[in-house]
Structure 1
Amino acid sequence: MILKSALDLRKSINRDRQRLYRLEKNMGISNPNVIQLSQELDKKIFNMQQLMEEIRRTL
């Protein structure tokens, strides 16, 4: 279950990274939408780090 969550989160992070790159390229780094997406991506990356630590503890 944890591994599936990590894989799903990884896919979401990769999609958001691509979206952020395109958005920033078109709107600029200080655009509120870019900032919001960047913050959401930061949260997902933090959650991934926590999941990975949890997986390591179970091995």
Structure 2
Amino acid sequence: MLLKNALELSKSINEDRRIMHETVQNKGMSDPEVRKISQQLDRKISMLQKMMNEMDVLPRESSL
């Protein structure tokens, strides 16, 4: 379940990056929408990093 959620979140991050890139090209770097997407990306990337850390810890705990 954790892996599935991480994969879905990764896809969402890639989609947000694509949207942000398009928005920058169309509206410029200083547009409020770019900032909003960037902040959303930061949150999602942080969540993904936490998930990856949890997945990294699980096998070590079970081998003890």
* Alpha-carbon distance between aligned partners in 1 of 2:48 and 2:29, rounded to the nearest angstrom: 24
* Per-residue Cα deviation, 1:4-38 (whole angstroms, up to 9, x for no partner): 00000000000000000000111111100010000
Question: What is the distance in 1 between the residues matched to 2:58 and 2:47?
Answer: 17
Q: Which residue of 2 aligns with 1:28?
A: 28
Gaps of 5+ in 1: none
Which structure is larger by alpha-carbon Rg, 1 or 2?
2
| TM-score normalised to structure 2 length | 0.89
User: What's the RMSD between the two structures over aligned residues?
Assistant: 0.5
Q: Which runs of 5+ in 2 are unaligned?
A: 60-64
TM-score, with normalisation over the residues of structure 1?
Answer: 0.97
Query: For 1:29, what is the secondary structure of its paired residue?
Result: coil
Q: Cα offset for 1:41?
A: 0.5
Runs of 4+ in 1 over 3 A off after TM superposition: none
